[in-house]
Amino acid sequence: MERWGAMPVRGLGDLGAESRMITTPWSRMVRGLGLGQYPVGYDPTIAGHLRKAFDLIALKLPEMNGYTHFCGLLGTLVLDVTAPFADVSQLDLAGAIEQIKNVIRKEPNPYYRVGAACILMESFAKLRLDTMLLINERNDFAQEVLSMVDEIGADNIQDNNAGRHGDYEKLFAYTALFLSFGHLGIHDRLISGDRNLVLDALGVLDKIPAPFFRGRGGSMLFSAISLLGYEAFVFDGERDYLRDVLDYMDSTNSISIPVTFPQPTTPAFQKIYPLVTMLNAIAMSNRETYISYGRDRLNDMRLYWEEIAPAEKAHMSLYYIMALYNLRRLDEQIPDLDKFVEELVGSLAILDPGANFFLDGLSNAYIIETAMLTGRMDLIDEAKLTRMVDCFPDLDRSDIDRVNRPYPFSYTLNVLGEIGQLSLLFKPRERYDGLSPTEWVIAHLSDGGRAEGNRLFMLGNALVSQALRLRYVRARETPTFERFGSNLP
């Protein structure tokens, strides 16, 4: 640990409720949930790096789409507000917020429109800004966002799982909405109007055909509902929605709607991923009896873990550890956590982050984040970081890797920020012909970012998240998460 200096987290016991619920970078980079975790206080060097990244993106993409433009505007505002001695009263917050809201409204994709709006609301709560700038007599932005959710259609994700997602995006939009309303303390709106939006969201589960996506998406929704104290709608009404999702996941073989990934995966990977996230949702709801509902699900998870490949273990390690920790089963299931993490870090020797953008490309960032959260940064040396930082030109090997380069880059930016090594991405390096990795990656985006498409959203989320981490180092969790944390096991 001494090699890197103080970490924002020294072990699992340091994690607050938000980080125990939304631990992994997938939820943050891909879905924009839980940005800005592990605040470290303002650092002018980091702030300068982030401003440069936003400026580089604006120069490369002068006609930025709504979401990318939104991230630049919000990230810059966050940096202005968090700067030492910033006189918020002297900033034109009202004008800046109106500009950001107008950019959100111009985002053509309703799913990303909702996501951006929810990140804006969550940022307000985390920065302790006056919510009257968002919710006032002239414009009730929260109500405006509610209407956006209804515009999200089914099966709009254009990838190799077309037709298997159903209303997967709408499910995550509801999850983001619930979390942001919880941060702002206005979640009573979800059940006090003409529609019970909690029940509406739960009804979306039946419209997601693939068991993988229903379990993966449902787990985050269940956790968000538990956060708000509305878990009775999940368990105690006419249906037990969590039980129904577990039953559906158990029917994977008979339903036969497998999902595909950019690189081949083991059958066990498709089973452990939704299972481990559902087990964390069970922990968040304090309904531990469900871990043995129908079968021994901890035993299933252990068997799947033994079957998955090293790169898949890298992706699943943090999910696996956190689910067990939150269920108070970590010592029972992984009696020697140090050895577990040492073996995981040892697999970096065979996981080349430049081999492909997904399985290997994300693996190094996942493993380093796991080492940080378990207090084992002593296992990470400079050579491991260098390999990850220098991998991005290797992704020119194929079209799919090249256009998806922002995906692993966002994960790398995220984890290097969390371990205090963000400058590695902003200093000139020989590997990049004298440019910094950030300059090189942004310079190699396609014209207008059209080839990368929604992969750019991940880069925006990563940058905004790092900006939010510069708020006051002892920033408390928002009140809803504080109350929730007192009830966690």
The number of distinct structural domains making up the chain is: 1
Please report the pLDDT score of residue 474 as a whole number: 77
Question: Does 6 reside within a domain?
Answer: no
Question: Does 5 reside within a domain?
Answer: no
Please list, residue by residue across 76-85, b when 16 or more beta carbons sit within 10 angstroms of its beta carbon and e when fewer do. Answer: bbbbbbbeee
Pair of tokens at residue 166: 């159903």
Query: Which domain covers residue 248, as residue numbers?
Result: 12-485
Question: Does 284 reside within a domain?
Answer: yes
Question: Does 364 reside within a domain?
Answer: yes
Question: Does 96 reside within a domain?
Answer: yes
Please report the pLDDT score of residue 251 as a whole number: 86
Residue 183 to residues 121, 123, 178, 301, Cα–Cα distance (Å)? 8, 9, 9, 32
Sign of CA dihedral 360, 357, 425, 65: negative
Question: Does 82 reside within a domain?
Answer: yes
* CB neighbour list of residue 431: distance below 8 Å, 6 or more residues apart: 390, 393, 437
Q: Whole-angstrom distance between the N-terminal and C-terminal Cα of the chain? A: 28
Question: Does 1 reside within a domain?
Answer: no
Please report the pLDDT score of residue 253 as a whole number: 66
Helices (H) and strands (E) in the chain, counts: 26, 0
Residue 343 to residues 306, 376, 419, Cα–Cα distance (Å)? 13, 12, 20
Tens of pLDDT, residue by residue, the chain (489 residues)? 457 778 999 999 999 999 999 999 999 999 999 999 999 999 999 999 999 999 999 999 987 778 999 999 999 999 999 998 766 666 788 899 999 999 999 999 999 999 999 999 999 999 999 999 999 888 999 999 999 999 999 988 878 787 899 999 999 999 999 999 999 999 999 999 889 999 999 999 999 999 999 999 999 999 999 999 999 999 999 999 999 999 999 986 677 788 999 999 999 999 999 999 999 999 999 999 999 999 999 999 999 999 999 999 999 999 999 999 999 999 999 999 999 999 999 999 999 999 999 999 999 999 999 999 999 999 999 999 999 999 999 999 999 999 999 999 999 999 999 999 999 999 999 999 999 999 999 999 999 899 998 899 999 999 999 999 999 887 789 999 999 988 887
Tell me what the pLDDT averaged over the chain comes to.
Answer: 94
**Which candidate, 468, 344, 402, 454, places its Cα nearest to that of 65?**
454
Question: Does 3 reside within a domain?
Answer: no
* CB neighbour list of residue 437: distance below 8 Å, 6 or more residues apart: 389, 390, 392, 409, 424, 425, 426, 429, 431
276 vs 26: CA distance, rounded Å? 14
